[in-house]
Amino acid sequence: MEDDELRKSVKNVKDAAYQAYAGQTRNYKQKLLYGLLGAMRNKDRSRFMNILDVNLNGVKGAEQVSMARCIMNEYENIQGPHFETYAYSIIAGILASKDEKI
């Protein structure tokens, strides 16, 4: 995969994560991020994807469907040599998303 394609793909995944988790509570996102970062620390790709998959399936909404579709489109790339790049872009998208208004 060329650098320009990789940048575009990673940006799409980050934007999808941002949209999917905008409006979720801070506690919800903290628990999710804790699990994802733990999987990254242990270099456990399958656990990372499992946490993300379970989370996306448990939350309803068009944004989550959009993110799931984006991730499935990029699944081979995510599982490839650029896994950490994609994983950190998902984490960055979740961190950048706005919390639910109380």
Instruction: Quick: pLDDT tens for 54-102.
Output: 887 766 666 666 777 777 677 666 777 888 888 899 899 999 987 765 4
Can you tell me the mean pLDDT for 21-39?
90
Mean pLDDT is highest, among 10-19, 38-47, 80-89, for 38-47
Greatest CA separation for the chain: 43
Can you tell me the mean pLDDT for 16-30?
85
Task: Give the Å distances, CA to CA, from 70 to 31, 40, 78, 82, 94.
Answer: 22, 20, 11, 16, 15
Report CA dihedral (63, 26, 57, 82) to the nearest 10 degrees: 80
What is the value of pTM for the model shown? Answer: 0.82
Note whether 16 and 78 are within 8 A (CB).
no
**Chain-centroid distance, C-alpha 85:** 11
pLDDT value for 70? 73
pLDDT value for 100? 62
